[in-house]
């Protein structure tokens, strides 16, 4: 098993990204034959109802987490809410799932779209960095 510090956590849904501010977070790669990962987020109790809804439905969620260093790209996971525990005024949410294979062509598609906008070199670089970090859905060209 390998453990990693989680720096940010976004829940991806039809409306876009819902950032869940972390007090603390950890990600564990179980390194097993199922390629299982465990994500534990420690956050404010105000987010409890969001996670309870998914815990009771058993829905598979798309989430993005930034691991170890702020400049790392968000890692995409497919998870279920396994348990929610209250700890004082906060909650610990345990999620279990797998890491998704990232689209290999994303960087190329993003760059192609940005090049069509005739941006300056500095603007191009900043927009590319932001796009790789936030991974917006790209329009088909």
Q: Average of pLDDT values for 115-130?
A: 91
Mean pLDDT for all residues in the chain: 90
pLDDT, one tens digit per residue, over 20-56 is 999 999 999 998 888 899 999 999 999 999 999 999 9
46 and 15 within one domain = yes
Are 12 and 59 part of one and the same domain?
Answer: yes
Does an H or E element contain 84, and which? Answer: strand 75-87
How many domains does the structure of the chain reveal? 2
Q: Do residue 58 and residue 124 come from a single domain?
A: no
Ordered DSSP codes for 1-70: -EEEEEEEEEEEETTEEEE---SEEEEEE--STT-EEEEEEEEEGGGHHHHHHHHHH---EEEEEEESST
Are 79 and 124 members of one domain? Answer: no
Q: Does residue 108 share a domain with residue 90?
A: no
pLDDT score for 104: 55
Confidence grade of residue 139 (pLDDT, cut at 50, 70, 90): low
> Pairing mode, if any, of strands 24-29 and 36-44?
antiparallel
Identify whether residues 88 and 132 lie together within a single domain: no
pLDDT single digits (tens) 76-102: 999 999 999 999 999 999 999 999 875
Taking each helix axis as running N to C, give the angle between helix 106-115 and helix 121-134, from 0 to 180 degrees, rounded to the nearest 10. Answer: 150
Whether 10 and 45 share a structural domain: yes
**140 and 86 share one domain:** no
Are residue 49 and residue 113 in the same domain, yes or no?
Answer: no
Could you tell me if 12 and 71 lie in one domain? Answer: yes
pLDDT at 110: 86
String of b and e for 18-46 (b: at least 16 CB within 10 Å)? Answer: eebebeebebeeeeeeeeebbbbbbbeee
Q: How far is CA 17 from CA 3, 40, 77, 90, 111, in A?
A: 25, 19, 14, 22, 22
Structural domain including 112 reads 104-141
- What SS3 state is found at 119? coil
């Amino acid at each position: 098993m390998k453990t990693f510090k989680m720096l940010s956590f976004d829940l991806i849904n039809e409306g876009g990204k819902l950032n869940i501010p972390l007090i603390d977070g950890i990600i564990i790669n179980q390194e097993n034959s199922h390629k299982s990962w465990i994500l534990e987020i420690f956050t404010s109790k105000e987010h409890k109802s969001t996670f309870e809804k998914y815990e009771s439905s058993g829905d598979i969620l798309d989430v993005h987490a930034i691991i170890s260093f702020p400049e790392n790209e968000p890692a995409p996971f497919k998870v279920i809410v396994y348990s929610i525990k209250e700890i004082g005024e906060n909650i610990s949410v345990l999620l279990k799932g797998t890491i998704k294979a990232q689209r290999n062509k994303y960087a190329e598609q993003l760059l192609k779209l940005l090049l069509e906008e005739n941006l300056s070199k500095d603007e191009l670089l900043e927009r590319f960095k932001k796009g790789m970090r936030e991974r917006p859905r790209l329009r088909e060209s």
